Structures are given as structure tokens and as C-alpha cells.
Amino acid sequence: MIREKEAMVSSDLEDLRIRREKALAGVDRMWQRKYDFLERTPEFVASLKRILAVHFSQVVTPLQGKKVFLDMDAFDLDHSTIETNDKSAEGGYIRSGIAYRIPEQARNVRFFVYWNDPARVDVDLHASGKNREGRIICVGWNRNFRDSGIAHSGDITHSDAAEYIDIDLSADISTVSANINLFSGKRAFRDIAECYVGLMAVRELGEDVKLYNRKNCFFSHELLSGMSSMHYGYIDVQNRYVKFIGSDYCGGYYERFLKDDAERLFSVNEYLRIVFQAQQVTLTEKREEADVVLTMGKNTLPHGLSLLEENFFMDCR
């Protein structure tokens, strides 16, 4: 009976995929990601949830019947989303759709891209913001340097340097979308000797930071993809998180990634609820009582399990 139900749900999902392919027929590949909302319709997400529920009721995982402690305070699981159509080109422990919390004590944050290479390399950072009334705000090397609580560093054209956008978290801003462009010097981000993004707290907009060090960041990520232009992600100012997207930058403001479309998305929290129920997991608030400590990134514990290290979202059997 379970196998028959899974087959029916899989058929339903395949029908939705066929409809998507027909809708995208003739659309240029570089623009297809802008139309991926077709994979985020309520029908698609509902079918995916049914398949997962059936799947996890049949397979044996390290979570089955165990007491589990969630070690994920650094992540906003309600706003982290399951990306069903691909894996990030960046690899590592950063996956598209994961939302990282901004610490409560931070009042101003700096999102930056730092690079260093023996050759002269020019990396540009641009930001498109949106206030709570819906007005679009743009800052960058060829636009405003300061607007509505967002400040830009100005254009930096040499190595061992960083371009940044500072954001006043108390300002009338809803979201800020960050785009990174490798203007000259190398063919791709992975060709730069050192290149990473980070998010750190600053005391005031435009503050002079002498040393960019990952130890000073509450979020950092080395850029390793073969891309030269990237829509990195966005910062949700009102809900205080940064979400990694990591897609080719096609220009424009990425409405589809914002919380306006949240009802179409499949959150990590929803995913975990399905897995826990199907695997008969008991959640515990005490780490010492847990059989398994479930993490998002790299696992360092003998009884730990990482969702990303095990590629739970894609490969779990």
C-alpha cells in the first residue's frame, strides 16, 4: 500500500515537472532561474511533502527512534528553505536557501567581499534594497554611496582590499539584496588566491576597519565557484537574517527570493518536522540527554550528524 501511494505521488510530481519544462521551453538558460518559482507552487510543494513523508517512513536513518538535540541556534530554520532544483555552485557547507541569524546585539552590520591576489584584481559589490513601503534603494560603485540607512564603501580597484555595504538595522528597510561582480584581473572567483564574503557588526555606518578577519565575522564564506558574477543572497533586516542564494546574476531585483513569496517555499523547519515524525524522533532540549546531536554544518562530535555533510536534503536513502 505504501509503495502504491509513493508511486502515485511520484507520478503527480513528474506531471508538475513536465508542466515546468513546457513553461520554460525557449527561455534563455541564464534567465531560467528567475522562473524557478514554477517549482515552488503550492501543488509542487504539497507533492514533495507527501513524497518525503512516505520516503522517510520506509528508510532507516541514524535518526530513527532516537532522542535528538538540535544544535542550530545560528540558523533561522523557519526562513531557511529547501532548494529542490540544484546544489550550490559554491559547495562546502553553504547551501542555497540557508538563513543565518544576525545576533540580537548587532545594531549595524557590514556585508563585505574581501580579496587578495598577487595580481591586480577588481571585485565590485552592489546592493539593491527595499523599504517597508516598497521603494527600491540601490547603492554601489556606480550609484549612490549612501541611501536610507545603507552605505557603500565606494569603488576599490586593487587587491588586499574589501568593498562593503553597511546596513542600519533600525532603518526603514525591509530587505537588501547583494550582488558581486568580478570586474577584472581573473576569470572566476575560484581563480583569486583569496576571496571571501563576511558579515560583521560595526559601530557606525562607514566605520574604518583596519583588518578584515573571519574571526571577527558571525558569518563568512569563501567564494570557490567558476562564476564571475553572482547574486549572492539577501539580508532580511526586519527578521534579522542573511540568506545565501549563490546564483548567476541576471540583473534586476530578485523579487522571487524575498519573503513576499514565503508561502510558496518549503522551509527547513517543515522538512525536519516531516523527517522527525516519520522517523519517530523524540526532541530533547538537553544536549547531554541526546542520542544524536543534529547540526547544519561540519560535524565535530562522535554522536553528531550534519544535514549538509550527509547531504540529507538530496541523497538520503
58-102 pLDDT tens trace? 888 899 999 999 999 999 999 988 765 445 555 555 677 889 999
pTM of the model: 0.79
Cα–Cα distance between 136 and 252 in angstroms, integer? 11
| Most confident among 32-36, 211-215, 242-246 (mean pLDDT) | 242-246
Domain extent for 219: 99-262
Residues 251 and 308 in one domain: no
Say if residue 29 is in the same domain as residue 153: no
Select from 180, 177, 175 the least CA-distant residue to 196. Answer: 180
**According to the model, what pLDDT value does residue 64 have?**
94
The three-state secondary structure class of 245 is strand
Torsion angle of the four alpha carbons 101, 126, 259, 56, in this order, in degrees rounded to the nearest 10 = -60
Stretch (H or E) spanning 109: strand 108-116
Q: What is the pLDDT of residue 124?
A: 93
* Residue 279 near residue 64 (C-beta atoms within 8 A): yes
Residues 169 and 131 in one domain: yes
Are 111 and 242 found together in one domain?
yes
Q: How many domains in the chain?
A: 2
Residue finishing a domain among 240, 262, 284: 262
Mean pLDDT of 205-217: 78
Q: Parallel, antiparallel, or unpaired: how do β-strands 108-116 and 161-168 relate?
A: antiparallel
d(CA 228, CA 124): 11
For 39-60, write each residue's pLDDT tens digit: 556 777 787 788 888 888 888 8
Nearest-angstrom CA–CA distance, 164 and 152: 6
